[in-house]
Structure 1
């Protein structure tokens, strides 16, 4: 074969960087000194991609501490390729400060790096500088025969036969890139509004109102929200936190000694959601002592058993009991090990009976009640998901005090090492996610629940939320929020189960969440084209891929030999963009498996017709 083998990677954010890093790590073993052209396609700069690009507000921060963010493998990661360690974000920042690493970036980011500590929450633009450096290191690690060509623009379509070269059509080019293999490493994408959102947009247009559908908050036109006017906000997760920041500090407000001083340009945000509470605060202390004994009840063996079953898995009946048992075990193991004075039996006795008890059974409830006297020390996963069930207030005014007390208690608990079983559960959740990504699409509830418990905002953001609430800039609506329209009055109306009978009227409505990943509704011409050409999608719209190596599956379950996909739009979605050091990093394992399959395929392709030895 005379032509140089060619790989096209579509998506230059953290996932695309991760695949290139794994190609560099595995090339020596699997590819030797052969030539390979890699074409990297993205409208945004390599490294950060869209979500982590540098040109966004310096007010927007990560929801992870610097010491909890790495792009490098370690010996806890399950992979077949070599481990290539590297610095976590805080270590990299120290290397920059002390001159061991040199980067080319703007002065404001260098100032942030000079001040960054391991337990600080960096800005997204600082993370962008780290990601760019990681990308450059990955390029530098490639053997001399492998060359990366960057293309700034959108990939519009992939065509070509299963058995031949693929054609990747790019925005602004009349001729396609020819590729032996294509790997999609796309992040969060825009979507067409669902029918309910379309109706709200049409209502807003008829009455001159503002409706902002689900979107990446940094890309939304928030200038349409006028100062002093009420705005109904549906969604209380991380997208809301970004919205809150951009509409307060972003409009000139400031905090002085825990008090918010308005600029006068803020709207009044009336926020609610299904749960009616913000995501739990990030835990504000580190782990000490022996690690949680996970996995025990939901590890590779149990995942393999689930995969052998025929038909779709019933998450609640077949998977959730294993998760519940796993998380309960790490919680109580930590309680008995670190806080034995708050337990009433020996751990060995408790563990033996725990092993024999079914999740949710009266026997298990009785065991926990007898062994753990204080209800605050018991794990109630269902109660955590419905914190306002049964809570009722007669007015929104009284509810404000109640929810401020809830947020304050959450902040205190999540920053108190005396409640370190919470951190054990967080680490247990990471272990669970490492097994779940092998099982495909399990519906939307689990991912939302994980984010609510484990991927919430930094403590300082919730303290700001409390200050904004006391200043009257943010008002809480409650749980099971409903939004309706009034054609006669020309307004949106919102109510909740927490304050029955009360309604808030507003001329603006913001959906504070990202669009759900869905092949049927995505605005990505690339993904829509794959779906139209026969790629399989789950009931929730995720692109079906082989969990072993990320190959795209057709509707008969057959893997495409030349197309791969990784990331949040696929059934192999992982728990987040980045990995906490020494926690297994399942995304790293996915990247490694895909890179090794790619290299082996291209090696064999280039050697067809080679003389045998």
Structure 2
């Protein structure tokens, strides 16, 4: 008797799960138990919606080509087998060597892939091509008794008893399955109510307002912003980088290199005037453009499994900043100083073993540790100051908007120079250490020991925002372009603590920041330059909306006597991603699994840097093994094939 699995979502997460099914099926699924997999997604398999080919070639990845892989490797800690495969850079260098080979149809993309260097930042179209190949390889690697059908359609509903067949309703047919996986990826929600007032204001006055959105989806919307129109972009992260590219190069402007090696922007005349500000008032730090010069730091060190065990053994509730952050920060500092001492020993004043002994012995942020760092690292520019990094404009008050433009241009130029200079490779050591924190952070979150306020304010708001700011910024050339846009007067900086207020009599927005007290700009367009956050109660996904309405899924709610935090995420069991079903008393549904950014698993990207033991790959492996084990034990859907809706 054959078994049937439906995976809703064929983007990177669904593709990664399929790869793990291919790796584990020979061990867990007997040859006399055939399995048919239905993949459902309106977008092309592999890339899915976010990484589809049909988007602007101006949009880039924020990772170097050599830092993107969909495959496990020798550092992966899995129960299933490791199946190595090429990174994006390795695949692009010789795609014909990796079966199943298929030439890319787009001539511009073929040219990009041929010229792609390992340290280049590819277009998202290049990533789409890589993910397309990964998907085809995963299908090719399935054993003969596992087959796949792709449905370019939207799953609109799933129903069925917990102990029987599950029915997945598409547009014109129903798929009957033994198990359903919701690998839906990044999802849209109706705008947060906090944006409603600005949307209504824009409608009343005929102005333009754009709530948080995925940049590739709103390129046409941006055409409604008129040339020369004063426009506020609230937010200074990756969404800002994409949006400002579409509003400048996307409107015919171009960047030219100067004889001195700088960059100048030649406007087309169709650009708006972009005013940008945020809480910090500065752009995300760019990605480094170099590799480690010293040996890779052995991580984790302070925030390892034993440390998390010790935290969980403590009585009473925990808080991230008070209890875990001192250990996490010690690991970031260890990564930084490990690289500094090993790659640039001439800039240190103590032997590494002596420094390391003191670093291990003294608590984070203690006077003793500060004194040790000052003694061992003479140049303050070589010391790691995580608080200063978090608040770069704190306490700064300037006298004029023009002084702010000059100050921010110096700041951005210095940051771009530092991130391009291997002399500062200690920054990359800190970055790798920051990534390593995700090896243990999911355990801490899954233990349900953090207070509700800590999860809300310290995890979901502060830490993930800080991580993105330090480690998930744009390529360095984007900061060079931002400088050129600023010098051309196309982009204007608002500073830190940005506030946007509605001026009802004039039908305009007034934006200001704390860095230049009293300075205000007037705008007739407002763009929320943030990536959307999924909120289950406001989801636009029809399948999740139906399940939520019927009381078969539940939003993650962390609550205690002092605070209640609704994360907007779909609650799943940490070990295998099984969906918690209120109709089953909150127990895991035996036939429904969910994986990805819309779930309470958090912090698990669908692809990763090689040799980082990606939590996302571990989640995919655990889910695949649980699914194959259950499907091998018995199938209930084999006699109920797909039928017309």
Alignment of 1:287-298 (within 5 A): 287-298=292-303
Q: Contact between 1:334 and 1:424, CA under 8 Å: does it hold in 2?
A: yes
Alignment of 1:583-594 (within 5 A): 583-594=612-623
Distance in 2 of aligned mates of 1:480 and 1:426: 26
State the match for 2:10 in structure 1: 12
State the match for 1:559 in structure 2: 588
Decide whether aligned partners of structure 1 residues 146 and 305 sit closer, same or farther in structure 2, where only a CA change above 3 A counts: farther
Secondary structure (helix, strand or coil) at the match of 1:383 reads helix
CA RMSD of aligned residues (A): 1.9
2:199 is the alignment partner of 1:201: yes
Alignment of 1:455-466 (within 5 A): 455-466=472-483
After TM superposition, give the deviation of residue 176 of structure 1 in Å: 2.9
Distance in 2 of aligned mates of 1:400 and 1:10: 48
Q: Contact between 2:536 and 2:570, CA under 8 Å: does it hold in 1?
A: yes
Distance in 2 of aligned mates of 1:312 and 1:202: 42
**Cα-to-partner distance string for 1:230-261 (whole Å, 9 max, x where unaligned):** 10000111111111111111111111111110
Q: Contact between 1:60 and 1:124, CA under 8 Å: does it hold in 2?
A: yes
State the match for 1:357 in structure 2: 362
State the match for 1:54 in structure 2: 53
Decide whether aligned partners of structure 1 residues 591 and 305 sit closer, same or farther in structure 2, where only a CA change above 3 A counts: farther
State the match for 1:90 in structure 2: 89
Q: 1:535 aligns with which of 554, 577, 590?
A: 554
After TM superposition, give the deviation of residue 164 of structure 1 in Å: 2.2
2:269 is the alignment partner of 1:252: no
Q: Contact between 1:552 and 1:559, CA under 8 Å: does it hold in 2?
A: yes
Distance in 2 of aligned mates of 1:301 and 1:375: 33
Distance in 2 of aligned mates of 1:50 and 1:303: 36
State the match for 2:400 in structure 1: 395
Distance in 1 of aligned mates of 2:134 and 2:121: 19
Decide whether aligned partners of structure 1 residues 190 and 533 sit closer, same or farther in structure 2, where only a CA change above 3 A counts: same
Distance in 2 of aligned mates of 1:195 and 1:9: 32
Distance in 2 of aligned mates of 1:288 and 1:601: 47
Q: Contact between 1:566 and 1:573, CA under 8 Å: does it hold in 2?
A: no
Q: 1:544 aligns with which of 568, 571, 583?
A: 571
**Cα-to-partner distance string for 1:2-40 (whole Å, 9 max, x where unaligned):** 4x3111111111110000010001000000212111111
Secondary structure (helix, strand or coil) at the match of 2:62 reads coil
Q: Contact between 2:553 and 2:579, CA under 8 Å: does it hold in 1?
A: no
Q: Contact between 2:165 and 2:636, CA under 8 Å: does it hold in 1?
A: no
State the match for 1:333 in structure 2: 338
Q: 1:449 aligns with which of 449, 466, 469?
A: 466
Secondary structure (helix, strand or coil) at the match of 2:511 reads strand
After TM superposition, give the deviation of residue 312 of structure 1 in Å: 6.0
2:64 is the alignment partner of 1:65: yes
Secondary structure (helix, strand or coil) at the match of 2:24 reads helix
Distance in 1 of aligned mates of 2:404 and 2:193: 32
Q: Contact between 1:214 and 1:513, CA under 8 Å: does it hold in 2?
A: yes
**Cα-to-partner distance string for 1:393-443 (whole Å, 9 max, x where unaligned):** 122111011001001110111111111111111110111012213333632
Residue-pair matches, total = 604
State the match for 1:136 in structure 2: 136
2:319 is the alignment partner of 1:314: yes
After TM superposition, give the deviation of residue 363 of structure 1 in Å: 2.0
Distance in 2 of aligned mates of 1:577 and 1:123: 18
State the match for 1:167 in structure 2: 167
**Cα-to-partner distance string for 1:95-129 (whole Å, 9 max, x where unaligned):** 13789843242222111112111111111111111
State the match for 2:444 in structure 1: 439
Q: 2:611 aligns with which of 582, 588, 609?
A: 582
Structure 2, unaligned runs of 5 or more = 258-262, 446-454, 558-565, 638-645
State the match for 1:118 in structure 2: 118
Distance in 1 of aligned mates of 2:503 and 2:611: 53
Distance in 2 of aligned mates of 1:358 and 1:478: 34
State the match for 1:150 in structure 2: 150
**Cα-to-partner distance string for 1:67-116 (whole Å, 9 max, x where unaligned):** 11111111111111111111111111111378984324222211111211
After TM superposition, give the deviation of residue 600 of structure 1 in Å: 0.3
**Cα-to-partner distance string for 1:535-583 (whole Å, 9 max, x where unaligned):** 3413222222222211123466632222111111112223534211112
Distance in 2 of aligned mates of 1:308 and 1:599: 34
2:275 is the alignment partner of 1:284: no
After TM superposition, give the deviation of residue 459 of structure 1 in Å: 0.8
Q: 1:323 aligns with which of 322, 328, 338?
A: 328
Structure 1, unaligned runs of 5 or more = 609-613
Q: Contact between 1:105 and 1:129, CA under 8 Å: does it hold in 2?
A: no
State the match for 2:563 in structure 1: none
Distance in 1 of aligned mates of 2:420 and 2:309: 37
State the match for 1:27 in structure 2: 25
After TM superposition, give the deviation of residue 530 of structure 1 in Å: 3.5
Distance in 2 of aligned mates of 1:304 and 1:552: 26
**Does 200-209 or 346-355 show the bigger shift?**
346-355
Distance in 2 of aligned mates of 1:207 and 1:165: 53
**Does 477-486 or 300-309 show the bigger shift?**
300-309
Q: Contact between 2:331 and 2:433, CA under 8 Å: does it hold in 1?
A: yes
Decide whether aligned partners of structure 1 residues 570 and 89 sit closer, same or farther in structure 2, where only a CA change above 3 A counts: same
**Does 448-457 or 554-563 show the bigger shift?**
554-563
Secondary structure (helix, strand or coil) at the match of 2:536 reads coil
**Cα-to-partner distance string for 1:357-393 (whole Å, 9 max, x where unaligned):** 1112222222222222221111111111111101111
Distance in 1 of aligned mates of 2:553 and 2:623: 21
Distance in 2 of aligned mates of 1:316 and 1:9: 38
State the match for 2:75 in structure 1: 76
State the match for 1:570 in structure 2: 599
**Does 49-58 or 305-314 show the bigger shift?**
305-314
Decide whether aligned partners of structure 1 residues 18 and 310 sit closer, same or farther in structure 2, where only a CA change above 3 A counts: farther
Secondary structure (helix, strand or coil) at the match of 1:365 reads helix
Distance in 2 of aligned mates of 1:352 and 1:557: 48
2:528 is the alignment partner of 1:499: no
State the match for 1:231 in structure 2: 231
After TM superposition, give the deviation of residue 356 of structure 1 in Å: 1.9
**Does 404-413 or 353-362 show the bigger shift?**
353-362
2:518 is the alignment partner of 1:513: no
Secondary structure (helix, strand or coil) at the match of 2:18 reads helix
2:409 is the alignment partner of 1:404: yes
**Cα-to-partner distance string for 1:428-485 (whole Å, 9 max, x where unaligned):** 0111012213333632321111111111100111111111110011111111111110
Distance in 2 of aligned mates of 1:560 and 1:455: 35
Q: Contact between 2:55 and 2:216, CA under 8 Å: does it hold in 1?
A: yes
